[in-house]
Amino acid sequence: MTIAVTRSGEPETKPTRNSVSARPAAQAARVPDGTVQYLRIGDLQLESGVQLPDVVLGFETWGTLNADASNAVLIEHALTGDTHVTRGASEEPGWWEQLAGPGAPVDTDKYFVVSINILGGCYGSTGPSTPAPDGRPWGSRFPLVTLRDTTSAEARLADALGIDSWYAVLGGSLGGARALEWAVTYPSRVRRCAVISVGASSTAEQIAFAQAQTLAIRQDPNFNGGDYYGGPEPEAGLALARRIAHITYRSAAELDGRFGRNAQESEAPLEAGSLAGRGRYQVESYLDHQGNKLVRRFDANSYIAITEALMSHDVCRGRGSLRDSLAPATAEFLVAAVDSDRLYFPAQSRALAEALPGGPELHIIEAPIGHDGFLTEIGQLSGQLRSNFFA
């Protein structure tokens, strides 16, 4: 049911996503660690009532599932993340090597680690840029998917891999929201759950920043309602979306300490400028760089689709109060937040922790960088992760 496809190109190259072919599961060989595989999971009934046909999920694995399938760990990526959590057959670095790998807290010599590209993404899973049944990319027709939709898709992948329950599900930011949704939707399938740098639902402010980002793309003259494949892509819009997001991922102190009011080298923000243009401040050049870097590796429609999935994040929808909604979860929880995070405030993580069964302690990651500390400073949780989760 799965096929192996070697991860192609440089880490920052936009992946080709239309290369999924249908090889029967029987032919699947042992796939090297840390290479993208694909699974067809069939048609998916979405929360909106729409049916999404012939869904494919891209994923990577590391290590070996043990005989009673009790050592499987799911690591969920964030908004523009991919499935490459840590290095594998190739030495291509992953995005959470502090967390997972040989000898890391999630020891890939001991655990069978799985990472799934979120439905709607552009790193192997069905998304706006993959072909609809008529052979053309989904484009503007790609339906709204919620985090519950992406979770139910992932449950089918777990079924196919023979994983009845995860030893642990972990994630930060959007990944944390995905992990939480797993633990609440499938209580018996999640024994441990780490929810890092995200609260129980997307707040009005998080929705507001997300709207600005999706509008930046939608207003790009190349967007064409989402049907831009084969033509010029809405790169300027995607880069602007990323700039807005990136500001919220970093603290004011981080930006000011790194860049202050300095001019970009050999540019003069105050000399002979006009509305036609002027020299840049360093922080502008930095954000230009962040925007342009994402454009080279990410699909603008997927950015919208996943952002709107994140806007849908609400563990309480249709379930009652926060405490009632969380009550069915039987996992052991680890909740953590970065103290300087100004997008997913620690207070939101605290409210989640307090409402969870057993009221786990909130772990504070001390990092002046802001939200992105969940990626760069996960080492601060090593002790807790090792002693509580991965002893």
Which residues form the catalytic set?
173, 341, 371
Count of all residues that appear for the chain in the document:
391
Sketch the per residue contact string, 283 through 322, with its own copies: x for CB under 8 A, - otherwise: xx--x-------------x--xx--x--xx-x--------
Cα distance from N-terminal residue to C-terminal residue, the chain: 33
Name the phi and psi angles at 107, rounded to 5: -80, 115
- The first and second tokens of residue 94, run together, are 């992953």
Strands 106-107 and 168-172: unpaired
Residue 26 touches its own copies, criterion: CB under 8 A: no
How far, CA to CA in Å, does 306 sit from each of 126, 213, 311?
Answer: 12, 12, 9
One of 93, 136, 208, 376 touching its own copies (CB under 8 A):
208
- 372 known ligand binder: yes
Residue 136 touches its own copies, criterion: CB under 8 A: no
Residue 220 touches its own copies, criterion: CB under 8 A: yes
Question: DSSP labels for 187-252?
Answer: GGGBSEEEEES--SB--HHHHHHHHHHHHHHHTSTTTGGG--TTS---HHHHHHHHHHHHHHHS-H
**Exposed/middle/buried for 257, CB within 10 Å: 0-12, 13-18, 19+?**
exposed
Number of amino acids touching its own copies (CB under 8 A) = 66
Rounded-to-integer distance, Cα 340 and Cα 225, Å: 37
Residue 119 touches its own copies, criterion: CB under 8 A: no
One of 128, 171, 172, 346 touching its own copies (CB under 8 A):
128
Strands 37-45 and 51-62: antiparallel
Rounded-to-integer distance, Cα 129 and Cα 110, Å: 36
Residue 110: what residue type? K
One of 225, 265, 266, 391 touching its own copies (CB under 8 A):
225
Q: From the CB of 287, what's the least distance to its own copies, in Å?
A: 6
Residue 51 touches its own copies, criterion: CB under 8 A: no
Smaller CB separation from its own copies, 255 or 365: 255
Smaller CB separation from its own copies, 179 or 300: 300
- 242 known ligand binder: yes
One of 47, 54, 97, 267 touching its own copies (CB under 8 A):
47
Q: From the CB of 26, what's the least distance to its own copies, in Å?
A: 36
Rounded-to-integer distance, Cα 122 and Cα 32, Å: 21
In the window 232-291, what residues touch its own copies (CB under 8 A)?
236-237, 240, 243-244, 247, 252, 255-256, 258-261, 269-276, 278, 281-284, 287
Residue 178 touches its own copies, criterion: CB under 8 A: no
- The first and second tokens of residue 10, run together, are 């440089």
Question: How far is C-alpha 174 from the geometric centre of its chain's CA atoms?
Answer: 5
One of 159, 164, 205, 324 touching its own copies (CB under 8 A):
205
**Partners of residue 186 on adjacent β-strands:** none
H helices within 250-278, ranges in order?
252-259
Residues tagged in the binding site annotation for substrate: 242, 372
Pick out the residues of the known binding site: 242, 372
Binding footprint of its own copies on the chain (CB under 8 A): 47-50, 128, 138-144, 146, 201-205, 207-209, 211-212, 215-216, 219-221, 225-226, 236-237, 240, 243-244, 247, 252, 255-256, 258-261, 269-276, 278, 281-284, 287, 301, 304-305, 308, 311-312, 314, 342, 345
